[in-house]
A and B are shown apart, each in its own frame.
Chain A
């Protein structure tokens, strides 16, 4: 099982149903896509994340009715620094798709998807807690794992592994 090179050409990836669906809906929403190691990632426009998720959830052919996970990757010191990553699962079709939104380093924020999948509640709180990404429209955006009065965001790359002393 040798590794195949990743496909990043959007034109080539339009054969993938979820990419095709999103491009047909709003070309501006899709900023790129990547097919690597049998997994599809779609880069999305930040301001349209909620609408895009709604669309994928209610898709008739392949409804992504289950939000498996939300997390974040910090690419410090390059910009845009943060990448918020959503893993969606379609229980009826047994398909997965990964959505990504890139955010700038100073006061990163985007819309919450808790109104699309209520399960996003804890996942987004965790991302807020550990990366400091704010989710607009989240019902209860408080720290989840760290103490309320904790300073800093531990999973950022500029936060030392052993903590501040």
Chain B
């Protein structure tokens, strides 16, 4: 029998349509059908100035906007050859790790809800709210932050921000214990996740998996550690790896990652350098308002950046970062003008989704829901 699952199905986290060929309750074949959220962001980017693309990157993966901001600005900074001051780099790491926790909390809550554990959802969203308030404090927005700029940060972090983050970092490890108390030793959770939707390390690499989905299958690879960017080489952290390759292994990886991330937030707070938050590049970075009132050059540069953008030397760059879902990559081609000639986003979820048939075929229909949750897809990123 052919069964349609989605595009509007609560467990597909967006608008994913699965065409299932089933024999009784067993899956014979599974065919993901995507594109319902395609908005042509890559095409839109080609018509914008470099600095105008930043808000678009938020909307690709709406659960980790800051990671997308970071990846994009890093790519443009490499095209320009800009050096970023340490404080901006550390702020970027701090906010990225908070974003990772935020994204994993949404994942954990909804994944548990899909499998039938309602309480976890409420707990996770309680802490997520704290993180969103921190984002609002620093950028003025809860979700579509657009806080990173080419060359640094948009604004100086406000007074009291670091204290608030410190408070959060103090109580969050106990919150993770709470989630684990509810799930890790729970026999129902174990039955629904252990041995379900297995994927071997070879299959995971061949099918292009990345992030916790790859590490859950025993491949020890994390871009933050192995190909560091934005000052991640200054941080000490462990990369959680699980050998089993099932839903539970991916769950364990992500929960352990949350603990590592909060430890990194703590490190970033303790070692936060002082100094400027923007690089020195008057033709690229908007001047401070105060300078505009006193210096003519600053006013001219401001006018020119706003009206004409800034030209980027011709060339191309592929910049990848470790997003909560895996390898997020931006491939940007410049032809020397103020608008990118081509922006391509390498979406981790698009590649991870290719694992779904291998995970589910020959297994029960109910396991599909667990499998979708365990690869943590965001359809905005898949469809772009």
Using CB atoms and an 8 Å cutoff, list the residues of chain A in contact with chain B.
1-3, 6, 36-37, 39, 41, 65-69, 71, 73-74, 85, 87, 91, 94, 96, 98, 117-119, 121-123, 126, 130, 143-147, 154-155, 159, 161
Contacts and interface: CB of A to CB of B under 8 A. Distances in A.
A98 B318 contact: yes
A87 B351 contact: no
B42 A155 contact: yes
A144 B34 contact: yes
Interface string B160-199: 0000000000000000000000000000000000000000
Given A85-B331, A117-B206, A36 B351 contact: no
Nearest to A91: B221
Given A3-B313, A37-B78, A161 B354 contact: no
Contacts of A6: 315
Interface residues of B, number: 43
Contacts of A68: 208, 320, 327, 329, 346
B316 A36 contact: yes
Interface in B289-327: 313, 315-318, 320, 327
A37 B317 contact: yes
A65 B327 contact: no
Nearest to A161: B47
A24 B236 CA distance: 41
Given A73-B333, A119-B207, A155 B318 contact: no
Contacts of A74: 342
15 contacts: A37-B316, A39-B317, A65-B206, A69-B329, A69-B346, A87-B318, A87-B331, A94-B226, A96-B318, A119-B207, A123-B351, A145-B34, A145-B383, A145-B384, A154-B43
Contacts of A159: 43
Given A37-B78, A66-B205, A71 B331 contact: yes
Contact of A73 (B79, B221, B342): B342
B344 A71 contact: yes
Contacts of B34: 144-145
Closest 7 CB pairs of A and B: A119-B208, A3-B81, A145-B35, A69-B346, A145-B38, A71-B344, A1-B83
Contacts of A66: 205, 208
Most chain A CB atoms below 10 A, which of B219, B221, B227, B351: B351
Given A94-B226, A146-B38, A1 B329 contact: no
A28 to B, nearest CB: 25
A135 B315 CA distance: 26
B344 A69 contact: yes
